[in-house]
């Protein structure tokens, strides 16, 4: 009880203080606030730091300009990117290359994916079930591994290094356009991304009631007419969506254009960011990353707007649809052969090429009599591969494998838990500004392509910030970037599962006297874990095959399998890079199969 003597003014402050205290006594508010701080550090701060660094002279800049005074403010880097003699090379050409490859890949992938989807969900094609399952595999294999396989096949000897299988078998030196640059980038990435369109369009097709199509048929329309006038408009949103999302993903892809483009100086924005940072002009790299983020955000924003508008359109019929199968007749077997060819080209052939490469004793000698298992199980020997042991015995690779697994485990568990907390904070605090802020901020990393996100982290964590030591070179930093980048997925999954659980189950335990920690352990966690597990596995696989996100951040200590592949490939040890690729494929396909067993998948 306040004493009567207490002045009004003083009472006013106690009241306000207690209000704050009441507000803060709600656990979801506390969690929101903690999340907000975490998100500020792992999402907002790197971005701010990157912008700041782009305006500051760096030490390395003294090589580029006499006026450079490290630490001072300058517009030098912005001018260099946007208004200098180098603009053409630094910005325009890579930008054009990025846009042209992205457009071509999106179109090609959309065409292959939707054609396959139409065949599988609307015709009597044989082996449809198996085809539908297999069609996802090219997407499971990391895209840069397709690039490596391409090189194993079509590499020519002009650039230096060993030639590929094609030249070995035919004796013809493949022309540069076939070995490197635009053409192979588009082909390999299309092969990688068509499953994405396939999944989206299949989902749209199966959710459309084919009675809509039948009613057209009853009115006397031809099959083709129905396809064009009824089916096509209905799947259009899914088509556009897959086009736009593929576009934004290709735009941010690093590995493939690096392996296939850089040898002939064919740069994209992503590879340009990398080489600027590696060549110690980080500020220019940051500005390019900024450009990439802006474009990719704009593209995703357009997509969100479109989905928002057309959502009601796609889900008209919901359940209870029936599907009429168009008989393919004579076309049936030619089409099946075509699909098998596609499957061979996208899955079997790359695998065969990779495995074959790992067995060659000399890089350009693919003959049977010179095949060897040395690169898998060879002892370290100074006469061979500069004394490196086969990958299954090589301590460096075993350590990288262990790093990869550790990284994927740590990132998926922490990102998964953070996702549950995000879901809890957002759903409990519905309609409050705080919850909205948490939701939006946790989604931000989705807008940032992997290589740019890595650049952001490099900008922030290469020096110490306040009490935090410089994290560059530590496992923690690599883990942190993987956690942040995957938060949009686990956060979404968390929100969905919290919405399904509802708030009353927790409240019921609250009225029975349970503390928050008990409520979380006994009610919230057991109920949301089921939904979270498929999210865990998804993140695990994603991190297992992650290259562009971490390539700027790993050091010899923190190497993973993927970055080892990258280094070996750079140094020309294609047998090693291929062998590790095979290892990665085995792990991710295995992970994919496990996640299938857990049923529902949370997006891609």
Partner 1 sequence: MERSIIEVENLTKVFGAVVAVDNVTFSIDKKEFLILLGPSGCGKTTILRMIAGLEIPTEGEIRLNGRIIFSSKKGIFVPARERDVGLVFQSYALWPHMTVFQNIAFGLKVKREAAPEIEKKVMDIISYMQLEGLKDRYPQEMSGGQQQRVALARMLVSRPDILLMDEPLSNLDAKLRLDMRAEIKIIHAQTGATTVYVTHDQVEAQTMASNIAVINRGIIEQIAPPKTIYNRPANLFVADFIGSPSINLIEGKTESGEVDGRMSVRNEWFSLKTACREIPAGRSVVAAIRPENISIVPSEGLNTLPGEVLTILPSGPETVLRVRYETYVFSLLLMQQVTLSPGQKVHLYLPPENILVFDKETENLLPLD
Contact footprint for partner 1 (CB under 8 A): 14-15, 17-19, 21-22, 25-26, 431, 502, 504-505, 507-515, 518, 522-523, 526-527
Q: Is 465 helix (H, G, I), strand (E, B) or coil?
A: strand
Q: Which is nearer to partner 1, 368 or 512 (CB)?
A: 512
Q: Shortest distance, CB of residue 559 to partner 1, whole angstroms?
A: 42
Q: Shortest distance, CB of residue 10 to partner 1, whole angstroms?
A: 13
The owner of tokens 């690093």 is: 254
Question: From CA 362, how far away is CA 382, in angstroms rounded?
Answer: 16
Q: Which is nearer to partner 1, 213 or 506 (CB)?
A: 506
What the block records as the tokens of 441 is 């901020």
**Cα angle 258-263-267, degrees, rounded to a multiple of 5:** 50
Q: Shortest distance, CB of residue 531 to partner 1, whole angstroms?
A: 13
Question: From CA 432, how far away is CA 355, in angstroms rounded?
Answer: 55
Per-residue three-class SS string for 533-585: HHHHHHHHHHHHCCCCCCCCCCCHHHCCHHHHHHHHHHHCCHHHHHHHHHHHH
Rounded to the nearest angstrom, the gap between the alpha carbon of residue 402 and the centroid of all alpha carbons in its chain is 21
Q: Shortest distance, CB of residue 316 to partner 1, whole angstroms?
A: 30
Question: From CA 498, how far away is CA 529, in angstroms rounded?
Answer: 11
Cβ atoms of residues 552 and 451 within 8 Å: yes
Q: Which is nearer to partner 1, 382 or 511 (CB)?
A: 511
Q: Shortest distance, CB of residue 602 to partner 1, whole angstroms?
A: 21
Q: Which is nearer to partner 1, 329 or 513 (CB)?
A: 513
Question: From CA 236, how far away is CA 481, in angstroms rounded?
Answer: 35
Q: Is 211 helix (H, G, I), strand (E, B) or coil?
A: helix
Q: Shortest distance, CB of residue 507 to partner 1, whole angstroms?
A: 5
**Cα angle 320-325-329, degrees, rounded to a multiple of 5:** 175
Torsion of CA 250, 252, 256, 262, to 10 degrees: 120
Checking phi first, is residue 54 left (phi over 0); if not, alpha (psi -120 to 50) or beta?
Answer: alpha
Q: Shortest distance, CB of residue 19 to partner 1, whole angstroms?
A: 6
Q: Which is nearer to partner 1, 114 or 528 (CB)?
A: 528
Q: Which is nearer to partner 1, 14 or 215 (CB)?
A: 14
Q: Shortest distance, CB of residue 100 to partner 1, whole angstroms?
A: 49
Q: Which is nearer to partner 1, 79 or 515 (CB)?
A: 515
């Amino acid at each position: 009880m306040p004493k009567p003597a207490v002045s009004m003014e003083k009472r006013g402050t106690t009241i306000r203080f207690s209000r704050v205290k009441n507000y803060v006594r709600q656990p979801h508010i506390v969690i929101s606030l903690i999340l907000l701080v975490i998100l500020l550090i792992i999402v907002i701060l790197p971005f701010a730091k990157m912008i700041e660094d782009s305006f500051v002279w760096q030490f390395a800049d003294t090589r580029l300009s006499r006026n450079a005074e490290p630490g001072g403010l300058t517009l030098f880097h912005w001018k260099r990117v946007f208004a200098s003699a180098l603009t053409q090379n630094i910005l325009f050409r890579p930008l054009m290359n990025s846009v042209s490859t992205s457009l071509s890949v999106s179109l090609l992938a959309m065409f292959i994916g939707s054609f396959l989807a139409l065949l599988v969900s609307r015709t009597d094609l044989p082996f449809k079930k198996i085809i539908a399952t297999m069609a996802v595999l090219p997407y499971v294999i990391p895209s840069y591994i397709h690039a490596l396989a391409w090189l194993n096949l079509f590499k020519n000897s002009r650039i230096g290094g060993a030639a590929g299988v094609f030249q070995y078998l035919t004796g013809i030196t493949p022309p540069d356009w076939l070995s490197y640059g635009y053409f192979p980038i588009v082909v390999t990435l299309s092969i990688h991304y068509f499953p994405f369109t396939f999944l989206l369009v299949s989902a749209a097709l199966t959710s459309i009631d084919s009675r809509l199509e039948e009613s057209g048929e009853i009115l006397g329309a031809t099959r083709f007419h129905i396809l064009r006038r009824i089916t096509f408009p209905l799947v259009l949103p899914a088509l556009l969506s897959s086009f736009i999302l593929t576009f934004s993903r290709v735009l941010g892809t690093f590995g493939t254009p690096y392996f296939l483009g850089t040898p002939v100086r064919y740069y994209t924005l992503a590879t340009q960011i990398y080489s600027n940072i590696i060549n110690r002009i980080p500020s220019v790299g940051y500005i390019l990353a900024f450009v990439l983020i802006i474009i990719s955000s704009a593209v995703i924003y357009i997509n969100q707007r479109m989905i928002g508008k057309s959502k009601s359109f796609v889900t008209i019929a919901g359940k209870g649809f029936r599907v009429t199968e168009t008989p393919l007749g004579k076309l049936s077997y030619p089409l099946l052969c075509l699909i098998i060819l596609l499957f061979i080209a996208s899955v079997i052939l790359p695998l065969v090429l990779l495995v074959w490469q790992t067995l060659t004793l000399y890089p350009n000698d693919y003959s049977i009599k010179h095949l060897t298992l040395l690169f898998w199980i060879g002892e370290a020997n100074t006469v061979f591969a500069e004394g490196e042991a086969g990958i299954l015995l090589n301590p460096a690779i075993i350590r990288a494998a262990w790093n990869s697994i550790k990284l994927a485990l740590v990132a998926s568990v922490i990102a998964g838990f953070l996702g549950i907390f995000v879901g809890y904070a957002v759903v409990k605090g519905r309609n409050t500004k705080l919850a909205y802020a948490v939701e939006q901020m946790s989604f931000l990393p989705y807008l940032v392509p992997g290589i740019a996100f890595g650049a952001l982290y490099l900008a922030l964590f290469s020096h110490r910030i306040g009490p935090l030591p410089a994290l560059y070179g530590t496992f923690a930093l690599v883990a942190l970037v993987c956690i942040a980048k995957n938060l949009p997925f686990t956060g979404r999954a968390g929100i969905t599962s919290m919405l399904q659980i509802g708030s009353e189950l927790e409240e019921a335990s609250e009225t029975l006297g349970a503390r928050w920690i008990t409520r979380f352990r006994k009610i919230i966690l057991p109920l949301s874990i089921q939904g979270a597990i498929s999210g865990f596995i998804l993140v695990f696989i994603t991190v297992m095959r992650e290259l562009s996100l971490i390539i700027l951040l790993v050091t010899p200590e923190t190497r993973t399998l993927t970055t080892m592949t990258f280094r070996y490939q750079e140094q020309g040890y294609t047998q090693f890079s291929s062998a590790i690729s095979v290892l990665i494929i085995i792990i991710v396909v295995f992970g994919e199969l496990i996640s299938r067993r857990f049923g529902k998948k949370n997006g891609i």
